[in-house]
């Protein structure tokens, strides 16, 4: 399930509605929330521009190591293994019986993406270079 800026605003508005009774203050808080979320999106776009401008594909690519590793694992599971199974029917051989631990892959991938998000936040706040 994708989580976009509209979902973030909706979640923020639920919190604002619970804790801010004054309608004028609610409007002000919603505007501040939208401004902060937009600033975060702009900061991510700047990081994406810097990555895309690099001369090597491993840096300019999507979140280099984790993107390549997880992308390869997904391709193996959803493209290569089914293709081998179909070919085994026509070419009469036994395909390799490989198990795929999606839970472990997602744990690593989401953890690394979280660290990447924290790094982006640090750069946006000027904590690191």
Question: pLDDT of the chain along its 129 residues, tens only?
Answer: 445 667 777 777 788 778 888 888 888 888 888 888 888 888 888 877 777 776 776 666 656 777 778 778 878 888 888 898 888 888 888 887 777 777 887 787 777 777 767 777 777 777 765
**Same domain as 51, residue 15:** yes
CA–CA dist 39, 52 (Å, integer): 20
Both 106 and 87 in one domain: the answer is yes
Q: Taking the CA of residue 83 as centre, how many other CA atoms within 13 Å lie in the half-sphere pointing to its CB?
A: 6
How many domains does the chain divide into?
Answer: 2
b/e map 97-119, b = 16+ CB within 10 Å = eeeeeeeeeeeebeebeeeeeee
Statement to judge: residues 48 and 19 lie in one domain: yes
CA-based torsion, 107, 110, 116, 122: positive or negative: negative
- Asked if 76 and 52 sit in the same domain, the reply is no
Same domain, 37 and 75: no
In terms of domains, do 56 and 70 share one?
A: no
Q: Which domain holds residue 82?
A: 62-129
């Amino acid at each position: 399930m994708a989580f976009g800026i509209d979902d973030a605003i909706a979640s923020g508005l639920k919190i604002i509605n619970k804790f801010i009774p004054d309608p004028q203050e609610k409007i002000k808080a919603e505007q501040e929330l939208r401004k902060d979320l937009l600033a975060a999106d702009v900061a991510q776009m700047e990081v994406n521009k810097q990555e895309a401008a690099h001369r090597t594909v491993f840096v300019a690519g999507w979140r280099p190591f984790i993107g390549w590793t997880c992308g390869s694992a997904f391709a193996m599971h959803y493209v290569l293994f089914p293709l081998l199974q179909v070919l085994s029917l026509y070419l009469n051989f036994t395909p390799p019986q490989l198990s795929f631990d999606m839970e472990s892959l997602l744990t690593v991938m989401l953890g690394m993406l979280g660290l990447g998000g924290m790094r982006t936040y640090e750069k946006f706040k000027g904590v690191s270079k």
